[in-house]
Each structure stands twice: as structure tokens, then as C-alpha cells.
Structure 1
Amino acid sequence: MSFRTRFAPSPTGPLHLGHAYSALVAHDMARAQGGSFLLRFEDTDLERSKPEYMRQALDDLAWLGITWDAPPLMQSENLDVYNQSVEALSSRGLTYPCRCSRKDIAAALAAPQEGAPHSVYPQTCKTRSMDDRGPNDAIRLHMDRAVEQASDGLGFIEDGPLRAGPHPLDHAALLAKIGDIVVGRKDIQTAAYFLASAIDDIREGITHVVRGVDLFDFTQVQVLLLDLLGHKPPRYFHHDLIRDENGKRLAKRDDARAISLYRSEGASPQDIRAMIGL
């Protein structure tokens, strides 16, 4: 199978130098392998996702010399697909409804961020049945049962230079450090980040997921979810992060590092590559 990867930003702010690095690494790898590069917008956060950020991202990426080999996939246009995956997990007794407040589950609903503590859910609603599901409930993965039903020998291959090699599924870490993640979000009744992203990698035929090392620890969750849904995981390549002068990972709030700002100040695509070490 030929090399096929993607860049999948959330259109909730301007792209910055960290995005440029990840997109260029993935794009350069695909072109060097004679493979395909796809673009995906993970825009299921309908409140924070903005069309202007998507348009700016398309413009910035094209300016960097990045081309994609299919129309961008919009997650907001595929909610039924993610819902079907949630229902498939529920049909196997692997989920339960959660009525805890948004404040309690906010960390689980968002895409994981480096440096932000992942709060393991205290299992307040774990004894509830899906028959008791209310219209405002989130849906959580029953991690104990999920791990029990995982295929023997499940794991993934990491090709990145930081942690290269095979990584067997770490059952203990999934239970103690990850816990019962949200797979269905109550605000729009669709899959949360972990599930939607993994499902799209399968739907788009992604062979290599290229992304930041801050997401490495959550790869096991996605590999487990794919296995439960009958899919084999792709290979992974987690790269280092672009940081500011204080060593902090760049985030979308770092507008001073926005690609559009450098462009407005006269920087060239070659200047951006030099800034990020490419």
C-alpha cells in the first residue's frame, strides 16, 4: 500500500509555526514517498470552529507550497458516520451515559494538549445503563470492558525518531492514566476527538499518521477504539514540537507566531522553513 498521510487542524484559530512544521513534515514525507497528502478539518466543535479560520488555513497552506490530493474532509459533514461508531460500541456494552457537568468533563471533550493534566474520570456514572441515557448525557467508554475485549497482541508501530519501534497496548496505563474517555459528546451528539479522528484515518485510507509527540500517549486509545470497531491501526510518526523561547509548546492563542502575521511582514515560505528547522 502506498504512503498516505494527512494534516488535520481544528479551525478554531489561526495556524502558527507549529502547524506549519507538522503540515510540512507530513507533506514532505508524502511527496518523498510518491504517496498522497490529504487535508482534514476537525470542526465538530461547532461553537469554536469558524469559516474564516478555515479559509485562512487553506490560504496559508497553499502559500507554504502545500498541495493536497483530494478535497478537504469536513468532520461536521460526517456526523452520522461518527454516531454509528458510537452506537456500535454501545451495542457491545462498551459505553455508559454520563450526566456529570460540563465543567467535570471539559478536559475529556477537547483534543488533548501537551502540558495539560488529563483528569481521569472518577466513574461517577459508571453503573448507569445506556437504557437510562438522557438527551443531555455524554457517552463514555467503559475502559475495563474495552480492554478485556481488545485483540490479543494489539499495539502499534511508531516510525518517528523519538520513540521508534513496536508499542504493545498498555492495559494498565489505559485504566489508570486514561480512564473512561468521552466518545460521544452531549453538546452535538457526535463522537469526541479520540473516536472521530481515528475513524477518519480509516475512512481516508491513511497509512501513516504524522503528528506531534504531544499526542503520543493518546495513540493507544485510538488503536483500542479502532480494534473494537474491527479496524487495523495505521502506522504512526510522532514528531517533535515547535516551542517558544521559554520552551513552551506553541498554541493557537500565540497569535504572534501566526503564519499570516509572518506573511504580512514580508516573510517567504523559505523563511518559515528556516524558522522551524526545515
Structure 2
Amino acid sequence: MPGPVYRFAPSPTGRLHRGHAFSALTSWRACRAVAGAFRLRIEDIDRIRCRPEFEAGVIEDLSWLGLDWDGPVLRQSDREVAYTAALEQLAGAGLLYRCFRTRREVAEAMTRAPHGDEPVFFGLRLPEAEAAERAAAGEAFAWRLDVREAARRAGPLGFLETGFGPGGQTGWQAVLPESAGDVVLARKDIGVAYHLAVVVDDADQGVTTVVRGCDLFAATGIQRLLQVLLGLPEPVYRHHRLLVGPDGKRYAKRDLAETLQALRERGVTPTQLISELDLD
């Protein structure tokens, strides 16, 4: 039987920071401890924010940390055929619909959720002839998953959590994918969306264990639903704690967290950084 396969899948929308280093090292160390294969994937489906120089920076930073990987680097920008096939499979099963609402209209609809409910969006499926006519006329639309119908067909869902989760959960985790609403799976301006791309890529790369931050714990429900609908393998998940700075806030690109490049330039060594990270 093939051995365990882990992965690290950054988006090249900026340089890596301590939080990325913590996640990459956590996954890489767990992988090497069980003699597994480690895959590197570049999640560059964001056509506006992803840049070649940031991808080069990812490779530089990971190499500086002493990480290596097995096989070629997979880039989502090369994967349109695989994503289109998955979308067509879901559409052929009657699980996708064209949603013509603008972002503002979706936000307004979500504010009308019953008091106390988590605001999520459930769209209205138009008759296919009307939807096709509007699309042919050039109206912008998104392909949304009819999550309630999809969940009905999939039946009870869950996943095996071997890490912490956001609240210390381990073991079998039941999920309710309906809590995500009718998620967007594709749109003209973004191409395929993250949820669909990640499950297709994990399957194609043979990933058996997904190690990532607990901020993505909630996303696992909709991803498990897509895996079942598409007949894809089910990985084991390990969600690790988020690394936070002295101010108690998690490291993030949007907050201009100090990059690994900047650390390197001021003389910090990989050994010093790894000691500071206090890996689990």
C-alpha cells in the first residue's frame, strides 16, 4: 500500500511569515516522522493577487527553513481542466445553479437571517431556461452549490481530527455542511473557488493527511461534502493552533506581519526561528 502523503499549500499573494513557517514545519515534521511523502502545492487561483515573485519567495523561504518536498510543485493555475471536469460532474448531477445576485444583494440577504442564526446565504434556483438566457445575454453569475440538496444526497458526514481543532477537539467530528450555505464554486473573475480546488488537488496529489491551521476547521464540512459528491478519497485532518504575536493577534499578511525574508535580512537563523516557534 502507498505510504502517507502530507502537503503544504501556500498562496503566493505575499511573502511567508512566522505563521506560515509554523504550519509548514508542523506538516513537514509530522510527514518525515512517519517516512511519508511531502507535496508542495502553490494555490495561485487568485489571478489578481498572486505573483511569480511571491512564488519564488515561497521556494526561497521553505528552502531556507530546511524543508524539502517530493515530486514536482503543483500549481493551481495549471489545473483548469481538472477543475472544469469536477464542476461538470456536479452540474450533471443537478447540484449547481447560476446565481445572478451581486455581492451587495447577497450581503443584504444574509443580514435578513433569523435572529441568532449564523448569517449564511441560500439562493433561489431559477428555471434553467431563464438562467441560460440571462447568462447568454452576458449577465454576470456565480456557480453555487445547492448545499441542502447535496447534503441530503450525501447523508451523514464527518471527518477524523487528529490535532486540536479550534476548541481542542480530537477524534471523529460530525459536520453539517448546510451551515456554510450555498457556497460559490466558480465565478468568472476568480475561476474555480478554493473549496473545489483544494479537494480536487488533494485527491490528485494522493494526500492522506491534511495539516493546517484551526482557522480552516470550519471549512472541512463543505470540503468533506464535495469529496463525497465527487467520489474522492477522505483524508485525515490535523488542525493546529494558530501562531500569535506579542499583541495576541495571529500573524497575517494583511496585517503586514514580519516576513521570513525580513527575519533573514536582520540576521535571524533558521535554528533561532524554529526554537522561537515552539513547535508542537
Amino acid at match of 2:78: E
Aligned to 1:138: 142
Residue number in structure 2 paired with 1:169: 175
| Cα contact 2:251–2:257 (8 A) shared by 1 | no
Q: Write the distance in 2 (CA, Å) between the matches of 1:249 and 1:165.
A: 26
* Aligned residues between the structures: 260
**What is the CA distance between 1:153 and its match in structure 2?**
4.3
Contact kept? 1:159, 1:165, Cα under 8 Å: yes
Structure with higher Rg: it is 2
CA distance in 1, matches of 2:58, 2:79: 20
Q: 1:128 to 1:240 in 2, by over 3 A?
A: farther
- Pair 1:160-2:160 in alignment: no
Gaps of 5+ in 2: 108-117
TM-score, normalised with respect to structure 1: 0.88
Helix, strand or coil at the partner of 1:211: strand
- Cα distance change, pair 233–128 in 1 and its aligned pair in 2 (3 A): farther
How far the C-alpha of 1:69 sits from its partner, in A, is 0.5
Which letter maps to 1:155? G
With over 3 angstroms needed to count, the CA separation of the structure-2 counterparts of 1:79 and 1:104, relative to structure 1, is farther
Q: CA deviation at 1:101?
A: 2.1
Is residue 147 of structure 1 aligned with residue 151 of structure 2? Answer: yes
Alpha-carbon distance in 2 for matches of 1:45, 1:256: 21
Q: 1:63 maps to which residue? A: 64
The amino acid that maps onto 2:181 is: G
Q: Which residue pairs with 1:179 in the alignment?
A: 181
Secondary structure of 1:5's match?
strand
Offset, 1:61: 0.3
Q: Which residue number corresponds to residue 7 of structure 2?
A: 6
The secondary structure found in structure 2 opposite 1:183 is strand
Could you tell me the percent identity over the aligned residues? 41
1:120 corresponds in structure 2 to: 120
The aligned runs of 1:20-59 (5 Å cut-off) are 20-59=21-60
Q: 1:156 to 1:130 in 2, by over 3 A?
A: farther
Aligned residue identity for 1:141: L
Distance between the aligned counterparts of 2:130 and 2:83, measured in 1?
Answer: 20
User: RMSD across aligned C-alpha pairs, in angstroms?
Assistant: 1.9
Match for residue 110 of structure 1?
Answer: none
SS class of match (1:18)? helix
Matches within 5 A, 1:69-88: 69-88=70-89
Alignment-mate amino acid for residue 120 of structure 2: V
- What is the one-letter code of the residue matched to 1:235? V
Q: 1:141 to 1:256 in 2, by over 3 A?
A: closer
User: What is the TM-score with the length of structure 2 in the denominator?
Assistant: 0.87
The residue number in structure 2 matching 1:251 is: 252
Q: Could you list the runs of 5+ residues in structure 1 that have no partner in the other structure? A: 107-117
Matched letter for residue 256 of structure 2: D
Moved more, 248-257 or 50-59: 248-257
SS in structure 2 of the partner of residue 37 of structure 1: strand
SS at match of 1:15: coil
Counterparts of 1:272 and 1:102 in 2: how far apart (Å)? 41
What amino acid sits opposite 1:185 in the alignment?
R
The separation in 2 between residues aligned to 1:222 and 1:70, in whole angstroms, is 25
Matches within 5 A, 1:228-267: 228-267=229-268
Give 1:246 shift. Answer: 2.5
